[in-house]
């Protein structure tokens, strides 16, 4: 009888220990969500893949997921899930992008799988419309208050900042701009080697101030005084007209034209580098300027990618 009781107690202790280990393991599950606007260009995914690889290498044991904020781009990928011709021609596309979800669904899936500590890191260049919406999503999740604390969906759900920082006292976004300018040193050196000015096309936004692009331009001009540097945006200020006026004023005859965007997608390929009448390349060429287009996203620049890795570390430390 005593022996049976002893066996029962031993079994109970083992069961409780295993349950405790399982609970501890569950609470320690951590994940990072890389939230991007997205791209429909398979070749442009290399920028996002590069960011994902760096973040995974710097955070061993942490699950890293991609998410796209653009409804239109996600719909394109959803249609490709049953497009056998596309899949046959693009066998290198990671399955994760073929079945990409928005940040809300990605966070919800992770929570459902037992991840209670999640960092959402935007790959946005600056704190504009996309970042504001993403911030609202995270705030919405964090507003959940269950009756019992143990049923709260997250231990921690936090949001990192874009490459050029965000408004506020700390961290100082001016320091983020300086770091970003340093990350673009290779572009400046290349333009200098070609005897050319360096022109960037940023995305910008119609509803948020895009003055941070002008601040980045000012920082780069002070940091690299030997090269003419211009930054314009598709939406907002500085506009294409601002750039063309600057090129005329400085009598520039040759430029290196690059996208100031994480991925080299539709804007980079069509609005910037195509032969269409209204592309930046065509407009500059008609001004008598020799244009060299480099269609590479910022995500292919390892120094720029390190910015996102550092912002993840910053929010974790906070």
R_g over Cα of the chain:
24
Side by side, the strands of the sheet bearing 156-159 are 63-68, 30-36, 117-122, 156-159
In angstroms, rounded to a whole number, what is the distance separating the alpha carbons of residues 111 and 226? 51
The ranges of the chain annotated as CATH 3.40.50.1400 are 28-162+302-317, 185-298
Does residue 2 have a pLDDT over 60? no
Classify residue 296 as left (phi > 0), alpha (psi -120 to 50) or beta.
beta
Q: What is the dihedral sign for C-alpha 45, 47, 53, 56?
A: negative
Is 174 labeled as catalytic in the residue annotation?
A: no
Average per-residue pLDDT in the chain? 92
DSSP state at residue 298 = G
CA distances from 149 to 46, 111, 144, 145, 152 (A): 42, 16, 11, 8, 5
pLDDT band for position 318 (cuts 50, 70, 90): confident
Is residue 259 within 8 A of residue 33, CB to CB? The reply is no
Domain 185-298 sits in CATH 1.10.10.10: no
Q: What is the pLDDT of residue 72?
A: 96
Q: How confident is the model at residue 9 (pLDDT cuts 50, 70, 90)?
A: very low
Residue 11 reports pLDDT greater than 70: no
Instruction: State residue 31 phi and psi, 5-degree precision.
Output: -145, 155
Look at residue 268 in the predicted model and tell me its pLDDT: 96
Mode of pairing for the β-strands spanning 229-235 and 197-204: parallel
In this structure, what are the phi and psi dihedrals at residue 204, rounded to the nearest 5 degrees? Answer: 75, -170
pLDDT of residue 270: 95
pLDDT at 1: 52
pLDDT tens digits, one per residue of 161-187: 999 999 988 899 999 999 999 999 999
Q: What is the pLDDT of residues 121-171, one digit of tens each?
A: 999 999 999 999 999 999 999 999 999 999 999 999 999 999 999 998 889
Residues marked as binding for Co(2+)? 203, 235, 267
| % pLDDT > 90, the chain | 88
The whole-number pLDDT of residue 28 equals: 76
Q: 45-58 and 302-317 helices cross at what angle (nearest 10)?
A: 40
In sequence order, which ranges of the chain are alpha helices (DSSP H)?
Answer: 2-27, 45-58, 71-80, 84-89, 95-98, 103-112, 129-142, 173-183, 185-193, 211-223, 240-250, 266, 280-286, 302-317
Return the SS3 of 35.
strand
Name the residue with tokens 């890389």: 34
Question: Which pLDDT tens digit goes with each residue over 237-279?
Answer: 999 999 999 999 999 999 999 999 999 999 999 999 999 999 9
Express each pLDDT in 214-239 by its tens digit.
999 999 999 999 999 999 999 999 99
Q: How confident is the model at residue 16, as a pLDDT? A: 41
Q: Is the separation of the CB atoms in 164 and 180 below 8 Å?
A: yes
Do 134 and 160 meet the contact criterion of CB atoms below 8 Å apart? Answer: no
Q: Looking at the predicted structure, is the pLDDT value of residue 18 above 70?
A: no
Residue among 66, 124, 203, 311 flagged as catalytic: 203
- Annotation: CATH topology of 28-162+302-317: Rossmann fold (3.40.50)
| pLDDT given at position 173 | 96
Rounded CA separation 257/243 (Å)? 12
Residues annotated in the binding site, as ranges?
203, 235, 267
pLDDT-derived band at 196 (thresholds 50, 70, 90) equals very high
CB count within 10 Å of CB 16 equals 10
Count of helices and strands (H, E) across the chain: 14, 8
- Res. 27: pLDDT tops 80: no
| 123: nearest Cα among 71, 54, 58 | 54
Burial tier of 108 (Cβ tally within 10 Å: 0-12, 13-18, 19+) = middle
Note the pLDDT of residue 169. 87
């Amino acid at each position: 009888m005593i022996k049976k009781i002893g066996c029962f107690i031993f079994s109970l202790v083992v069961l409780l220990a295993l349950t405790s280990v399982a609970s501890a393991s569950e609470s320690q599950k951590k994940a990072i969500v890389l939230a991007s606007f997205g791209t429909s260009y398979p070749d442009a995914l290399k920028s996002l893949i590069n960011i994902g690889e760096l973040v995974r290498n710097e955070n061993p044991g942490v699950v890293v997921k991609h998410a796209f904020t653009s409804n239109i781009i996600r719909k394109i990928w959803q249609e490709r899930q049953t497009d056998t011709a596309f899949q046959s021609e693009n066998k290198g596309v990671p399955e994760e992008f073929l079945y990409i979800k928005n940040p809300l669904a990605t966070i919800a899936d992770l929570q459902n799988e037992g991840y209670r500590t999640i960092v959402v890191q935007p790959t946005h260049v600056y704190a504009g419309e996309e970042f504001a919406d993403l911030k609202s999503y995270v705030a919405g999740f964090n507003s959940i208050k269950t009756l019992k604390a143990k049923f709260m969906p997250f231990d921690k759900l936090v949001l990192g900042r874009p490459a050029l920082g965000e408004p506020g006292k700390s961290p100082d976004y001016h320091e983020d701009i300086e770091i970003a300018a340093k990350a673009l040193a290779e572009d400046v050196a290349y333009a200098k080697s070609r005897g050319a000015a360096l022109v960037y096309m940023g995305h910008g936004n119609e509803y948020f101030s895009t003055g941070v692009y002008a601040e980045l331009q000012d920082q780069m001009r002070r940091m690299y005084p030997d090269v003419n540097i211009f930054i314009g945006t598709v939406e907002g200020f500085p506009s294409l007209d601002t750039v063309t006026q600057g090129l005329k004023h400085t009598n520039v005859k040759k430029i290196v034209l690059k996208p100031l965007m994480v991925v080299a997608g539709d804007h980079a390929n069509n609005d910037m580098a195509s032969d269409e009448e209204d592309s930046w390349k065509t407009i500059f060429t008609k001004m008598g300027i020799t244009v060299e287009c480099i269609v590479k996203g910022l995500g292919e620049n390892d120094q720029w990618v390190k910015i996102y890795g550092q912002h993840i570390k910053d929010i974790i430390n906070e």
